[in-house]
Amino acid sequence: MSAYPSSIVCCVEDMRQLARRRVPRMFYDYADSGSWTESTYRANEEDLQKIKLRQRVAVDMTNRSLHTTMAGIPTSMPVAIAPTGLTGMQYADGEILAARAAEKFGIPFTLSTMSICSIEDVAAYTSSPFWFQLYVMRDRAFVENLIERAKAAKCSALMITLDLQILGQRHKDVRNAMTAPPRLTARNLADLVTKPKWCWNMLHTERRTFRNIVGHAKGVSDLSSLGAWTAEQFDPRLDWAAIEWIKNRWGGKVILKGVLDPEDARLAANCGVDAIVVSNHGGRQLDGALSSINALPPIVEAVGKDVEVWMDGGVRSGQDVLKAVALGARGVLIGRAFLYGLGAQGEAGVTKVLQMIAKEMDITMALCGRRRIDEIDAGILVPGTYPTPTHRV
Structure confidence at residue 393 (pLDDT): 42
Cis peptide before 262 (omega within 30 of 0): no
How many CB atoms sit inside 10 A of residue 388's CB? 14
Helix (H, G, I), strand (E, B) or coil at 239: coil
Binding residues for glyoxylate: 30, 135, 170, 281, 284
pLDDT of the residue at 178: 78
* pLDDT given for residue 392 in this prediction: 45
CATH value at residue 246: 3.20.20.70
pLDDT for 160 equals 98
| Known binding residues for FMN | 83-85, 112, 133, 161, 257, 279, 312-316, 335-336
Answer whether residue 384 is part of any domain: no
What confidence score (pLDDT) does residue 358 get? 98
Please give the C-alpha separations between residue 146 and each of 160, 201, 371, in angstroms, as whole numbers: 12, 28, 42
pLDDT in tens, 350-359: 999 999 999 9
Rounded to whole angstroms, how far apart are CA atoms 178 and 185? 11
- Asked if residue 385 is part of any domain, the answer here is no
The torsion region of residue 201 among left (phi > 0), alpha (psi -120 to 50) and beta comes to alpha
Q: What is the spatial distance between Cα 172 and Cα 41, in angstroms, rounded to a whole number?
A: 13
299-311 pLDDT, tens per residue? 999 998 889 999 9
Residue 391 annotated as catalytic: no
Q: pLDDT of 110-144, one tens digit each?
A: 999 999 999 999 999 999 999 999 999 998 999 99
Residue 247 · residue 275 · CB < 8 Å = no
Known binding positions: 30, 83-85, 112, 133, 135, 161, 170, 257, 279, 281, 284, 312-316, 335-336
For the chain, list residues with pLDDT below 50.
Answer: 1-3, 223, 225-226, 392-393
- Nearest alpha-carbon partner for 369 in 320, 324, 322, 311: 322
Number of domains present in the structure of the chain: 1
Q: Is residue 1 part of a domain?
A: no
Closest CA relative to residue 311, chosen from 286, 330, 298: 330
Angstrom CA distances, 345 to 20, 197, 300, stand at 12, 10, 36
> What's the rounded Cα separation, in Å, for the pair 209 and 181?
6
pTM: 0.94
* Of 67, 171, 204, 281, catalytic: 281
| Cα-to-chain-centroid distance, residue 202 | 23
Closest residue by Cα to residue 157 from 247, 217, 239 = 247
| Assigned domain for 76 exists | yes
CA distance 234 to 240: 16
- Which structural domain range is residue 95 located in? 12-377
Q: How far is CA 142 from CA 219, 233, 237, 387, in A?
A: 11, 10, 16, 41
Asked whether residue 338 is domain-assigned, the answer is: yes
Q: Give the model's pLDDT for residue 83.
A: 98
For residue 238, tell me if it sits in a domain: yes
Domain for residue 391, yes or no? no
Q: Beta strand 73-75 with 68-70: parallel, antiparallel or unpaired?
A: antiparallel
Residue 392 in any domain: the answer is no
